[in-house]
A = this chain, B = another copy of it.
Amino acid sequence: MRNAALLGLDWGTSSLRAYLFDQDGKVLDERRSECGIMALPAPREQDGFPLALEQICGDWLKTNTSLPVLACGMVGSQQGWKEAAYFDCPADPKVLAQSLTEVLFGAGRKVHIVPGLIMRGDYPDVMRGEETQIVGAMGLASAASDHATIVLPGTHSKWARLDKGIISEFTTFMTGEVFAALSQNTILSRLITSAEGAQSVRDQAFQRGLEIAGKPESGGLLSAIFRTRTLGLTEQVPGFALADFLSGLLIGYEIHGVQEKFQKDAALYLIGDEKLVARYVKALAIKGFQSTVLKDATQFGLWRIACAAGLVP
């Protein structure tokens, strides 16, 4: 890969993805390993990070001895290779790109790490990794840069608002993690089964959860989630569809929470795992919002930040 211009790393808690870019930002090659920052091939004190990097793309680094390396994600956390201090939001991606943290490896080579974002104040919030996806989204959808909301569903869903090229604010929702905790570690787990069942019944249960969310008569989230049990007990929803009901309910409350906090008129862009994003597209449509799905936001974000940082010509 003689014409390689950048090695981009998406280095999270449970996985590591490497992208090799050419000078036009095209991805020449892509690799994935399980060496997330919590599953390194050796302890961090024993060069776990450079070893993981060597394992996944030592050949690329050897062939291109001056190849710049840019990494985003939990690799920049306190538990990562080197802490990249949070960058304050509202954030201008161009300034963010001037605030990379450097860590040395091999014979004088550097990895540049993208900082996470922080919202300060009475309702502080943080993200790490998603900032790069958002910068990618701003390039993928030119309209998104001007005035839009980016939604990143996941364990911790993030909703970010963009205004005239600036990431103006964002909010985290623990939707995915709360779903896991409720469906595995509470009484709700008892009636939820993994049996197969009609997709139409599952879809109905998902929609029922969505529609209850935010209604005053539901008594709020802490009460509404108990319906996962009582709709099962009263046989209104079969066991195989109760997880869908709970999922719809929680995603519905996430959307309800955003509606109270953010303006509603912005265009919505979704980034993330295909199946989960499809669930959000459906939920948003039921709630009356149109949304557009963006792909490859992480890799494009790495490329854009590298350009703005001057790592590539």
- List chain A positions with a Cβ less than 8 A from chain B: 118, 120, 123-126, 156, 171-175, 177-178, 181-182, 184-187, 212, 216-223, 225-227, 229-231, 233-234, 236, 250, 253-254, 256-258, 260-261
A174→B225 contact, CB < 8 A: yes
Provide the residues of chain B in CB contact with A227, threshold 8 Å. Answer: 123-124
B172→A226 contact, CB < 8 A: yes
The interface residues of chain A, by DSSP majority, are classed as helix
Q: Given that A181-B185, A260-B216, A261-B216 are known contacts, is A222 also in contact with B175, CB under 8 Å in the complex?
A: yes
A223→B124 contact, CB < 8 A: no
Query: Nearest-CB distance from A175 to chain B (Å)?
Result: 5
Q: Given that A220-B260, A257-B223, A261-B219 are known contacts, is A233 also in contact with B124, CB under 8 Å in the complex?
A: yes
Provide the residues of chain B in CB contact with A221, threshold 8 Å. Answer: 220-222, 253, 257
> In the complex this chain forms, how many copies of it are found?
2
Question: What 10 pairs across the A-B complex have the smallest Cβ distances?
Answer: A220-B257, A216-B260, A124-B230, A219-B257, A181-B181, A173-B222, A124-B234, A221-B221, A172-B226, A219-B261
Query: Nearest-CB distance from A205 to chain B (Å)?
Result: 13
Q: List 13 A-B contacts (CB under 8 A).
A: A118-B234, A125-B230, A171-B223, A172-B230, A173-B219, A174-B225, A174-B226, A175-B222, A184-B185, A216-B260, A218-B257, A220-B260, A223-B261
Q: How many Å lie between the Cα of A237 and that of B120 in the bound state? A: 14
Return the contact of A218 from the options B123, B175, B187, B253 (Cβ within 8 A): B123
Query: Nearest-CB distance from A180 to chain B (Å)?
Result: 8
Provide the residues of chain B in CB contact with A186, threshold 8 Å. Answer: 174, 177-178, 181
Provide the residues of chain B in CB contact with A250, threshold 8 Å. Answer: 222
Provide the residues of chain B in CB contact with A234, threshold 8 Å. Answer: 118, 120, 124
Closest to A258 in B: B219
Provide the residues of chain B in CB contact with A256, threshold 8 Å. Answer: 220
Provide the residues of chain B in CB contact with A171, threshold 8 Å. Answer: 219, 223
Provide the residues of chain B in CB contact with A225, threshold 8 Å. Answer: 174, 178
Provide the residues of chain B in CB contact with A178, threshold 8 Å. Answer: 182, 186, 222, 225
Query: Nearest-CB distance from A18 to chain B (Å)?
Result: 26
Query: Nearest-CB distance from A39 to chain B (Å)?
Result: 17
Provide the residues of chain B in CB contact with A217, threshold 8 Å. Answer: 123, 260-261
Identify the interface centre among A187, A236, A260: most chain B CB within 10 Å of its CB. A260
Query: Nearest-CB distance from A255 to chain B (Å)?
Result: 9
Return the contact of A236 from the options B124, B156, B233 (Cβ within 8 A): B124
Query: Nearest-CB distance from A125 to chain B (Å)?
Result: 6
